[in-house]
Amino acid sequence: MKKIILIIAVLLIIISGYAIYKDNSVPEENNMVLKNKKILMVIAPVDFRDEEYLEPRQVLESAGAAIDVASIQKIKARGVGGTEVDVNLTTGDINVDDYDAVVFVGGAGMEEILDDESLQVLALKFYNAQKLTTAICVAPAILAKAGILDGKQATSWPGVKADLQSGGAGFTGEDVTIFQNIITADGPDSAKKFGEKIVEALSK
């Protein structure tokens, strides 16, 4: 008799747990809020910051977005942590009409190429086309150098704060700052939140 009661108790626990899981879960179709969106991620050919690429990408793809990756050259790009990415698009190849947003990824390698004209031109094209324009870590300096942060609030890795201020931005020091159609973030610790804010902005 005790054995039967124990079995019944275990079954009740399993059934209750499943019910709680069902109540708390979000229907799969509701998770795919970006299923018709296409996003361009821009990384340095070497020493991009792995988390700033991987975590937002995971969040965006989980929401259904299609992702392309570009750099200043076609290459097997390598992050500071060893992540390898086959890059088949250069920043000069991009037709902004094909995308809903751009994500500039930071890292030591990106800091080395902040003055690359093709990066700044690409950022300006997305902004002028009223596409969501985003950057994390040192990459907001690209937006500043392109002239699109003038009079706007933005954040970044502290090391490029002066670049933002020189570009006319009000530096917030926040982990993520949203101003109109621009999202900036301060670094790898904010990478997931950065991705989530991009999803929110694109799903409106």
**pLDDT of the chain, 204 residues: tens digit per residue:** 545 544 444 444 444 444 433 334 333 444 899 999 999 999 999 999 999 999 999 999 999 999 999 999 999 999 999 999 999 999 999 999 999 999 999 999 999 999 999 999 999 999 999 999 999 999 999 999 999 999 999 999 999 999 999 999 999 999 999 999 999 999 999 999 999 999 999 998
The predicted model scores a pTM of 0.86
pLDDT at position 157, please?
A: 98
CA angle 170, 176, 181 (to 5 degrees): 70
- How confident is the model at residue 26, as a pLDDT? 36
> What is the rounded CA–CA span in Å between residue 94 and residue 181?
20
Full set of structural domains in the chain with CATH = 30-202 (3.40.50.880)
CA angle, 195 then 151 then 94, to 5°: 50
Q: Write down the pLDDT at residue 27.
A: 38
Q: Which phi-psi region, left, alpha or beta, contains residue 180 (left: φ > 0; alpha: ψ -120 to 50)?
A: left
Whether 145 contacts 114, CB under 8 Å: yes
